[in-house]
Amino acid sequence: MLIRAGYELRFEMQSPVVMLLLLYTHPSRADSVEREQLSVSPDLPLDVFYDAYGNRGARIAAPAGSISIRNNCLVRDSGNPDPVNPLACQCGVEELPAGVLHYLLSSRYCEVDRLSDIAWQLFGQSPTGWGRVQAICDWVHANVQFGYEYARVTKTAFDVYNERNGVCRDFTHLAITFCRAMNIPARYATGYLGDIGVPTSPAPMDFSAWFEVFLEDRWYTFDARHNEPRIGRILMARGRDAVDAALTTSFGEARLTGFEVWTDEVPERRLIPSGD
């Protein structure tokens, strides 16, 4: 299937601001992306880079005033839902590849030390491996209320556990923290997730957050917010938590004044040749 994905973000600055943008599709999707073009208006130079987590980013120096950041691309997707493997086993910490060990540790929004005892009380009797991760997703999905009004930038996994509400990144932080507390490497992921194969949501289209866990010898996708395999998930950035995968980071005040995201399946017969 083909998915047209993109966004337009508008910011207002009172003085010049440097911004980091993780607003490209992830390099792991490079062979499936057509005609991606991130642009800034007014026209500004893009200093493109790759960070420590393999995300593709850009740095801009924005002047005082208004800017618009836009991207639009076509993504070829398998059309299959997230893989499910109930038999996937959990590795002992001594067996894990060294490169995934830091995904067991506490991070800015995922306080493993504060939630470790709670995690073992809740999930210590659940099956290890896939079954344990699914039990964590089931618990977070059932016990945390979704609502945009509950969002705040300082909200951590410990806050989410106590307040029992949040947005998709909060569901993700809590599930990641529980997984790490149970010795399962877990990392944060964010990107596009349209209403493909599910009833259309009345809420405005937004970016979404989910997480990945390392079982046996590979990473698997889980989503505590929706708690079901989804079609058309398009990764943009990964990291330990939302700090590492923030889609925009401003070194100075940048006020968001406009936000539009789109993710739509496109019938191939309606595609216009390159040059449109």
Residues paired with 186 in a beta bridge: 213
For residues 104 and 195, membership in a common domain is answered with: yes
Question: Which value, in Å, is the radius of gyration of the alpha carbons in the chain?
Answer: 19
Contact status, residue 210 vs residue 221, Cβ threshold 8 Å: yes
| 12 in a structural domain | yes
CATH of the domain at 142: 3.10.620.30
User: How crowded is residue 275: how many other Cβ atoms within 10 Å of its Cβ?
Assistant: 5
Are 102 and 232 in a shared domain? yes
CB of 57 closer than 8 Å to CB of 100: no
pLDDT value at position 270? 52
CA separation for the pair 78, 86 (Å, rounded): 21
**What CATH number does residue 23 fall under?**
2.60.40.2250
Give yes or no: residues 234 and 114 share one domain: yes
Is 63 part of any domain? Answer: yes
pLDDT for 271 beyond 70: no
- Residue 143 falls in which region: left (phi positive, over 0), alpha (psi -120 to 50) or beta: alpha
Give the 3-state secondary structure of residue 149. Answer: helix
Query: Same structural domain for residues 113 and 213?
Result: yes
What is the per-residue pLDDT across 110-120, written as a single tens digit (0 to 9) for each?
A: 999 999 999 99
Query: Could you read off the pLDDT of 131-165 as tens digits, one per residue?
Result: 999 999 999 999 999 999 999 999 999 999 999 99
- Asked if 112 contacts 99 with a C-beta cutoff of 8 angstroms, the reply is no
Residue 85 resides in a domain? no
Domain assignment present for 177? yes
| Residue 177 and residue 68 share a domain | no
Is position 140 within any domain? yes
Q: What is the pLDDT of residue 211?
A: 98
Residues 15 and 119 reside in one and the same domain: no
In a domain, 178, yes or no: yes
Residue 144 DSSP one-character state: S
CA distance 57 to 47: 8
pLDDT at 269 over 80: no
pLDDT number for residue 32: 87
118 plus 41 within the same structural domain: no
Of 14, 8, 57, 44, residue with least CA distance to 246: 57
**Residues 227 and 114 reside in one and the same domain:** yes
Is beta strand 165-166 parallel, antiparallel or unpaired with respect to 145-146? parallel
Is the pLDDT confidence value at 276 over 50?
no
Residue positions counted in the chain: 276
**Same-domain check for residues 141 and 259:** no
Q: How far apart are CA 87 and CA 73, in angstroms?
A: 36
Range list of β-strands (E), the chain: 2-13, 17-21, 33-34, 39-41, 47-50, 56-62, 65-76, 145-146, 165-166, 186-193, 208-215, 218-222, 233-239, 248-251, 255-266
Strand partners, 8: 70, 260
> Does residue 149 sit within a domain?
yes
134 burial class (0-12, 13-18, 19+ CB within 10 angstroms)?
middle
Is it the case that residue 5 has pLDDT exceeding 80?
yes
What digits encode the pLDDT tens for the residues 210-227? 999 999 999 999 999 999
- Note the pLDDT tens digit of each residue in 198-212: 998 887 788 999 999
Does residue 14 lie in a domain region? yes
Number of domains in the chain: 2
Residues 58 and 100 in one domain: no
Alpha-carbon span 11 to 192, nearest angstrom: 21
Average pLDDT for the chain: 94
219 and 148 co-located in one domain: yes
Give the domain range for residue 196.
93-239
